[in-house]
């Protein structure tokens, strides 16, 4: 079973995620107002078992369960201007939500 679904990313665009099997762990952009154990329904399915949507399939949903919120690797931003005594060091850790694919439901 091969399914591709789409979720909204923070910058207004969309990100496509591929699922090969159920009970697979996936890391997606941070989902606000979710706790561990919450169910999330992704209804923007692009491909499911060889069927292609125009642009989405209307009768297929991917159901996921939130496992935990995690942080990515720390990125260091360092700004420096020569001969001006200007230095600025800043760090950033991106937040992600880890989900487990529970079911891929197809209704008639």
pLDDT recorded at residue 17 = 73
Bridge partners (DSSP) listed for residue 45: 5, 57
Could you tell me the pTM of the whole model? Answer: 0.71
pLDDT recorded at residue 74 = 96
Q: Taking Cα atoms as reference points, which of 42, 1, 46, 36 lies closest to residue 19?
A: 1
What are the residue ranges in the chain where pLDDT is below 50? 11-12
pLDDT recorded at residue 82 = 96
């Amino acid at each position: 079973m091969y399914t591709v679904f789409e979720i909204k990313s923070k910058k207004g665009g969309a990100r496509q995620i591929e699922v090969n099997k159920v009970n697979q762990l996936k890391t997606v952009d941070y989902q606000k107002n979710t706790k561990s154990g919450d169910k999330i329904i992704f209804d923007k399915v692009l491909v499911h078992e060889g069927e292609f949507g125009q642009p989405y399939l209307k009768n297929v949903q991917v159901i996921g369960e939130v496992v935990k919120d995690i942080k990515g690797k720390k990125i260091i931003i360092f700004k420096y201007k020569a001969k001006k005594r200007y230095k600025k060091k800043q760090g950033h850790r991106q937040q992600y939500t880890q989900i487990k694919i529970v079911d891929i439901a197809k209704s008639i």
